[in-house]
A and B are shown apart, each in its own frame.
Chain A
Amino acid sequence: MTQTSQRPRTAESAAAVVTEFFDRYRAHDVDGMTDLCSMNAGLHYVPVEIWGKQRVLRGDGKVRTIGKPLWTGLIASFPNLSNTVHSITSNDDGDVVVQADIEGTQQLAWGLITPAGKHYREPHLFVFHVGPDLLIDDITGYWNDAGISQQLGHNEVD
């Protein structure tokens, strides 16, 4: 009979996975961040919406198809991108809620914002779900994109 030595999912072990996720984000290890997520992990970055003439593109999809390109692009535009985790709370069902500041200095264009060497620091709230296999299977993020735009010197809403 196959036996597994994997740690059980508890509030503490789920929080540890998410703590490691932010450590890897701080180290710009996007592959390592993705490795902490299940193959089909969902990603919902609520503020991300780009209004076109006939459709709206949203930051709503999968970690591997939406999250990874977003994180990679963000790090390219803000080479000193970093995060400060202020609180992590979790439960035995694998829910993990994180308050963190994300900050960086812009060196390349980000969306419609041209680089002016300005720095931003913005509070974020993330809701993670960690599965029984201790892999992240869902990430939802909330923040104020207007705050980021204004700090970077971009005053147009769109």
Chain B
Amino acid sequence: MTTPTQTVETFLDAFARRDVDAAMAVVDSRVAVTVHPFGLDNRGAEALRTVLADLVRAFPDLMIAVSRVITTRDVVTALFKAEGTQSAGYAGAINQEKHLDIDQAWRFVVTDGLITAVDAYWCQAQLYRRLAVKRYDEIAIA
């Protein structure tokens, strides 16, 4: 039986390799997905797969550098930096080939070896600042 920490480390290792399928292999099909910067609150593996795939597609050289993994019972919180160079539109921002580096915190709930809930936190102001977006109401205008 894998521990909650091992399950999340498997997910993060796969995400760092940009292997979305391998990451999703440890995710429950009914996972609750909340991505606070997007206002996304959904249920189902496809919702999380889309979040991961969009990031990998927009930043093909994506690097995930995990600084801490904190286990508190069945909750595992990972602190990491996501870094990469934009090569496609992302979160409404057109591609200006800017470099992104953004600190994030993802809180996972693990049940019976599968991730059953994810809450992702990062600052969209930092993201837009790095992607040279000037206004929240004109995200696609450089």
Contact status A127-B37, CB under 8 Å: no
Which A residues touch B128, using CB under 8 A?
146, 157
Question: Which candidate, B15-23, B44-52, B58-66, B131-139, is the interface stretch facing chain A?
Answer: B131-139
Min CB distance B77 to A, Å, is 5
Which A residues touch B77, using CB under 8 A?
97, 125, 127
Which B residues touch A90, using CB under 8 A?
72
Q: C-beta contact mask, A93-116 vs B, less than 8 Å → 1, else 0?
A: 001110100000000000000000
Given A49-B126, A99-B119, A156-B134; 17 other pairs, CB 8 A cutoff: A89-B73, A95-B72, A97-B72, A97-B107, A125-B105, A125-B121, A142-B123, A145-B124, A145-B125, A146-B124, A146-B136, A147-B37, A149-B136, A150-B136, A155-B136, A157-B125, A157-B135
Contact status B75-A89, CB under 8 Å: yes
Contact status A157-B72, CB under 8 Å: no
- What is A's interface to B at a CB cutoff of 8 Å? 11, 46-47, 49, 51, 87, 89-91, 95-97, 99, 123-125, 127, 140, 142-147, 149-150, 155-158
- What is B's interface to A at a CB cutoff of 8 Å? 36-37, 39, 68, 70-73, 75, 77, 79, 103-105, 107, 119, 121-126, 128-129, 133-137
Contact status B36-A144, CB under 8 Å: yes
Min CB distance A110 to B, Å, is 13
Q: Are A51 and B71 also in contact (CB < 8 A) when A99-B107, A99-B119, A125-B107 are?
A: no
Contact status B129-A158, CB under 8 Å: yes
Which A residues touch B134, using CB under 8 A?
156-158
Q: Are A46 and B119 also in contact (CB < 8 A) when A97-B70, A127-B70 are?
A: no
Q: Inter-chain contact count A-B, CB under 8 Å?
A: 92
**Residue among B73, B104, B125 making CB contact with A142, cutoff 8 Å:** B104
**Residue among B75, B124, B136 making CB contact with A97, cutoff 8 Å:** B75
Chain B residue, CB-CB nearest to A140: B79
Q: Are A125 and B119 also in contact (CB < 8 A) when A89-B72, A145-B125 are?
A: yes
Which A residues touch B122, using CB under 8 A?
142, 144
Q: In the complex, A114→B75 CA distance in Å?
A: 39
Q: In the complex, A144→B122 CA distance in Å?
A: 6
30 contacts between A and B (CB under 8 A): A11-B72, A49-B126, A91-B70, A91-B71, A97-B77, A125-B107, A125-B121, A127-B77, A127-B79, A127-B105, A140-B79, A140-B105, A142-B105, A142-B122, A143-B36, A143-B121, A144-B124, A145-B124, A145-B126, A146-B37, A146-B136, A147-B124, A149-B136, A150-B136, A155-B136, A156-B134, A157-B128, A157-B129, A157-B134, A158-B134
